[in-house]
């Protein structure tokens, strides 16, 4: 196994890239710790597969280097890098049995028969495919085939890393949860570096210790699920993670005074002089809905436009001084007719041109 370093890596599918926009992957420098469980999260088209294929060796980057420990592997193939990759759609041999498919990567590497048998039996068990072991893959359903694909990546134990590119897309929802849990267990058991690509925040946050969030070819934040929730580095992260996502409202900031949605807030922290586009990010979890009497001068009147019950919570959607906001309340919270949105100002994040600004004091 190895630590994987990306050094000034960038990629363009255009032969002679001219501008930033020509790059599917803008410059990234990052070290993936040996044995880490990572998720690569972002909307479709943001460059996740491009980055993953560069790490595995399917794609040669137009700029920069990739190292496994001290070895420069930029020009090496996936086989030479000893990486297992599981794709979105099944890559299996239709004419082989399930068992033979799972054994294949091990047979190829000259692993002893007894070890192969043991590992294949384990994997059949893990994937709940024991009763299909002797069947040819051809006749199986799409999600069974994809499970074999996963298994072919996971049976290998000598790999530097296992990469997953949205591997559960074709798997049914119940099995999805089960397989994700299993992946996490396998990670704990064998300690392989795993990089898991997904556009689904739940998948990313439940699988990974560290989530790498991408947006338009750029890594906008790398952090634990808590860090992404508490202090999104970019308004996109705040909006993309959480449901509903973080509210983002234009504001003016003068040291510890914030003007937002026609109201004035005094913070217990101050900011240096800020220029450019300024916004407050505040998560729906950190806003309360109260009656005018309860609010007692705090907060801003909210025109409620919709209330959605989502189990133990309600999402209250509305506007404050014309700006749309979402509020998350307990399910038994009543919504008064003279509702005020009361903000937990200690949870305000200030953004300058979409990037988080740290307070001075
Ligand atoms: P993701 O996996 O996050 O959906 P991709 O890495 O597949 O994103 O794509 C990133 C960008 O690169 C997209 O704009 C996509 O259209 C473009 N792209 C991906 N593969 C190719 C390719 N083989 N040739 C040209 N452009 C590509
Ligand atoms: Mg992709």
pLDDT by residue (tens digit) across 210-237?
Answer: 999 999 999 999 999 999 999 999 999 9
**Six token digits for residue 253:** 């900031």
Q: What is the DSSP annotation of 262-304? A: TEEEE-SS------SSEEEEE-GGGEEEEEHHHHTT-SEE-EE
Share of the chain above pLDDT 70, in %: 100
DSSP state of 66: E
- Ion ligand 2: residue ranges with CB closer than 5 A: 49
Strand-pairing partners, residue 280, are: 249, 350
How far, in Å, is the centroid of ligand 1 from the Cα of 217?
9
- The stretch 118-123 carries a mean pLDDT of 95
How far, in Å, is the centroid of ligand 2 from the Cα of 137?
25
- The stretch 157-186 carries a mean pLDDT of 88
**Six token digits for residue 125:** 């068990």
Q: How far apart are CA 218 and CA 258, in angstroms?
A: 30
ω into residue 320 within 30 of 0, thus cis? no
CA max distance for the chain: 76
The pLDDT tens digits for 55-81 are 999 999 999 999 999 999 999 999 899
How do beta strands 257-260 and 247-254 pair? antiparallel
How far, in Å, is the centroid of ligand 2 from the Cα of 295?
47
Q: How far apart are CA 258 and CA 312, in angstroms?
A: 32
How far, in Å, is the centroid of ligand 2 from the Cα of 4?
20
Give the distance, in angstroms, between the CA of residue 98 and the centroid of all CA atoms in the same chain.
31
**Six token digits for residue 127:** 């994937």
Q: How far apart are CA 149 and CA 145, in angstroms?
A: 6
* Residue 361 confidence (pLDDT) above 80: no
The pLDDT of residue 126:
87
Of 180 and 361, more confident: 180
- The stretch 122-137 carries a mean pLDDT of 94
| Residue owning tokens 């609010």 | 295
Pocket flag, ligand 1, residue 43 (CB < 6 Å): no
Q: What is the mean pLDDT of the chain?
A: 95
CA of 40, nearest ligand number: 1
Nearest CA to ligand 1 atom 16: 45
Number of H helices and E strands in the chain, helices first, is 10, 22
Nearest CA to ligand 1 atom 22: 13
Phi, psi of 225 (to 5 degrees): -55, -35
* Residue 340 confidence (pLDDT) above 90: yes
Q: How far apart are CA 79 and CA 67, in angstroms?
A: 15
* Residue 181 confidence (pLDDT) above 90: no
**Six token digits for residue 14:** 């255009």
pLDDT band at 169 (very low <50, low <70, confident <90, very high): confident
Ligand 1 atom showing the smallest separation from residue 50 Cα: 6
340 CB-contact burial (10 Å; exposed 0-12 / middle 13-18 / buried 19+): buried
How far, in Å, is the centroid of ligand 1 from the Cα of 164?
16
Q: How many alpha carbons lie under 13 Å from residue 90 in its C-beta half-sphere?
A: 21
pLDDT band at 258 (very low <50, low <70, confident <90, very high): very high
CA–CA–CA angle 41, 223, 278 (5° rounding): 90
Nearest CA to ligand 1 atom 26: 13
Q: How far apart are CA 185 and CA 167, in angstroms?
A: 17
Q: How far apart are CA 49 and CA 81, in angstroms?
A: 18
Domains observed in the chain:
4-235 (3.40.50.300), 246-357 (2.40.50.140)
- The stretch 291-301 carries a mean pLDDT of 94
* Residue 165 confidence (pLDDT) above 90: yes
Is residue 287 a contact partner of residue 298, using CB atoms and an 8 Å limit?
Answer: no
Is residue 208 a contact partner of residue 250, using CB atoms and an 8 Å limit?
Answer: no
Of 180 and 11, more confident: 11
The pLDDT of residue 174:
82
Nearest CA to ligand 1 atom 5: 47
pLDDT band at 182 (very low <50, low <70, confident <90, very high): confident
**Six token digits for residue 274:** 């800020």
pLDDT band at 355 (very low <50, low <70, confident <90, very high): very high
The pLDDT of residue 290:
96
Is residue 355 a contact partner of residue 233, using CB atoms and an 8 Å limit?
Answer: yes
């Amino acid at each position: 196994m190895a630590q994987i370093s990306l050094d000034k890596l960038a990629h363009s599918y255009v032969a002679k890239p001219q501008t930033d926009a020509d790059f599917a992957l803008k410059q990234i420098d990052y070290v993936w710790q040996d044995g880490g469980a990572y998720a690569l999260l972002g909307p479709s088209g943001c460059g996740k597969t491009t980055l993953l294929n560069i790490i595995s060796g399917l794609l040669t980057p137009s700029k920069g280097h990739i190292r496994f420990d001290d070895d420069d592997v930029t020009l090496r193939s996936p086989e030479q890098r000893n990486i297992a990759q599981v794709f979105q759609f099944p890559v299996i041999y239709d004419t082989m049995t399930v068992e033979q498919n799972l054994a294949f990567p091990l047979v190829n590497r000259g692993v002893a028969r007894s070890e192969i048998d043991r590992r294949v039996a384990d994997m059949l068990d893990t994937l709940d495919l024991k009763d299909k072991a002797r069947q040819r893959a051809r006749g199986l359903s799409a999600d069974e085939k994809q499970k074999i694909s996963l298994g072919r990546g996971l049976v290998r134990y000598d790999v530097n890393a296992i990469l997953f590119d949205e591997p559960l897309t074709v798997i049914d929802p119940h099995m999805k949860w089960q397989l994700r849990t299993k992946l996490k267990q396998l990670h704990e058991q064998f300690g392989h570096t795993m990089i898991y690509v997904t556009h689904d925040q739940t998948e990313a946050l439940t699988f990974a210790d560290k989530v790498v969030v991408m947006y338009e070819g750029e890594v906008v934040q790398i952090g634990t699920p808590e860090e992404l929730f508490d202090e999104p580095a970019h308004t996109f992260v705040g909006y993309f993670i959480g449901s509903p996502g973080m509210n983002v409202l234009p504001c003016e900031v003068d040291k510890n005074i914030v003007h937002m949605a026609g109201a004035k807030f005094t913070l217990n922290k101050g900011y240096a002089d800020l220029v450019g586009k300024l916004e407050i990010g505040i998560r729906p979890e950190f806003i309360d809905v109260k009656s005018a009497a309860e609010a007692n001068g705090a907060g801003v009147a909210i025109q409620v436009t919709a209330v959605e019950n989502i189990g133990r919570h309600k999402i209250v959607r509305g506007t404050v001084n014309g700006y749309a906001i979402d509020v998350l309340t307990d399910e038994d919270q009543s919504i008064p007719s003279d509702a005020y949105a009361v903000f937990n100002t200690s949870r305000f994040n200030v953004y300058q041109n979409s990037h988080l600004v740290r307070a001075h004091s």
